Chains A and B, each alone.
Chain A
Amino acid sequence: MDTAVTAKKKWWGGGYSPFNVSYGKLMMWYFLMSDAFTFGALLISYGTIRFMSTSWPDPNEVFKAAPLMGHANLPLVFVSIMTFILIMSSVTMVLAVHAGHQRNQKAVAKWLGWTIVGGAAFLACQAWEWTHLYHEGAWWGRNPFLNMDGTPASTNFTNFFFTITGFHGAHVTSGVILNIVILINVLKGTYEQRGHYEMVEKVGLYWHFVDLVWVFVFTCFYLL
């Protein structure tokens, strides 16, 4: 009898979530969807302005520096390292969620700790990049870089770059703060008492979303 009911489960019949997830997780998904539209709007407006411009600065010229490398011409190297750090921190986050399913408090704390380290490392890299660009004369309203065709560029390039990477950086920052809050709760044993580690899954969703946005930022600003 039971099996028959399960096989023909009426998801909208009431009695349980038609999405098979908790309220909190579903709302995190909805929030991330709205955030995706915010980032999408920013990136598409960047694309519109870029399509409207007759020429645009060459990312391989603008982003060619790396820390400790002096004036060496290293396009893409530093940002590739930043990308690797963020992907890696996403992996440690899934491992934390995985450990949570097995109710392994120590492993959750360990992997969540590494995720925080990864997030902080990414922010440090971004701080270095912003500082470097600032010293080259780039900032909101200021653009020292020439267009690919040699003509002086407008400030659209720097305005979009600092606004979008800044908005993403703000997301990373709040992600790190959330992760720290959750790590404290893990260490205090809050979730052990609660009987499940779903909070780790919820901040995990947010953290992966931040990684997802970076994938698009990386393509739009550094590759295209």
Chain B
Amino acid sequence: MEHTQTAAVDDARHGHGDTSTKTIWKTFWILLCVTIVEVALAFLHLETGFPSRLVLNAIFIGLTVVKAFFIVAEFMHLRHEIKNLILTILIPLMLFVWFIIAFLADGDSWKNMRKDLAPGTPKQTTTVTNEASHH
């Protein structure tokens, strides 16, 4: 029992008993290539205006998540840990989904209020009527 336990721990610790550094360098090249693609796209946008800012930002966020995945999964070795540990770390981080949506929406609505309620804006009359009907 003791021996099987140690063997299992050792196995998890060494990945698949892998003694080569191949995965490490593969991860490095992925991270480097993704960063180069990001910078190249930024330059492409600066020079030509393509892709549009919205598309570009979506791509940047997507690629950031890709990089984060490889750092956590391979460098921090989380992919090779047991499920209990993976879930303990990842489930609380899902709070970020709501955290981001709520706060960015809040910021956006704040901006719209400041724009719509600014003195002299054409929208002023309609906004005031809306305000009045609310109260």
Residues 186-224 of A, flagged 1 when their CB comes within 8 A of B and 0 if not, give: 000000000000000000110011011001100100011
Q: Is the CB of B111 within 8 A of A40?
A: no
Question: Which of A9, A87, A205 is close to B8, meaning CB atoms less than 8 Å apart?
Answer: A9
Q: Is the CB of B103 within 8 A of A11?
A: no
C-alpha spacing A53/B9, complex, angstroms = 52
C-alpha spacing A100/B106, complex, angstroms = 48
Determine how close the nearest CB of chain A comes to the CB of B95; give it in whole angstroms.
Answer: 8
Number of A-B residue pairs having CB atoms within 8 Å of each other in the complex: 135
Residues of A within 8 A of B67 (CB): 215
Determine how close the nearest CB of chain B comes to the CB of A20; give it in whole angstroms.
Answer: 5
Question: Which of B71, B85, B88, B89 is close to A208, meaning CB atoms less than 8 Å apart?
Answer: B71
C-alpha spacing A19/B107, complex, angstroms = 39
Residues of B within 8 A of A75 (CB): 42-43, 46
Secondary structure dominating the interface of A: helix
Q: Is the CB of B5 within 8 A of A219?
A: no
Question: Is B39 engaged at the interface, CB distance under 8 Å to the other chain?
Answer: yes
Of the 9-residue stretches A91-99, A120-128, A136-144, A170-178, which lies at the interface with chain B?
A91-99
Q: Is the CB of B89 within 8 A of A33?
A: yes
Q: Is the CB of A95 within 8 A of B32?
A: no
Residues of B within 8 A of A44 (CB): 99-100, 103-104
Identity of the chain B residue whose Cβ is nearest the Cβ of A43 in the assembled complex: B100
Within 8 A of B (CB), among A21-56: 21, 26, 29, 33, 36-37, 40, 44-45, 47-54
C-alpha spacing A88/B107, complex, angstroms = 36
Q: Is the CB of B42 within 8 A of A76?
A: yes
Top 5 closest pairs, chain A to chain B, by CB: A51-B107, A48-B107, A52-B107, A52-B110, A19-B85
Could you write out 23 A-B pairs with CB less than 8 Å apart? A2-B3, A5-B4, A19-B82, A20-B84, A29-B85, A44-B104, A47-B104, A48-B103, A48-B107, A49-B107, A51-B104, A51-B111, A75-B46, A80-B39, A90-B75, A91-B25, A93-B75, A94-B75, A98-B24, A102-B19, A216-B64, A223-B38, A223-B42
Interface on B for A, CB 8 Å cutoff? Answer: 1, 3-5, 8-9, 12-14, 19, 21, 24-25, 27-28, 31-32, 35, 38-39, 42-43, 46, 57, 60-61, 64, 67-68, 71-72, 74-76, 81-82, 84-85, 88-89, 92-93, 95-96, 99-100, 103-104, 106-108, 110-111, 114-115
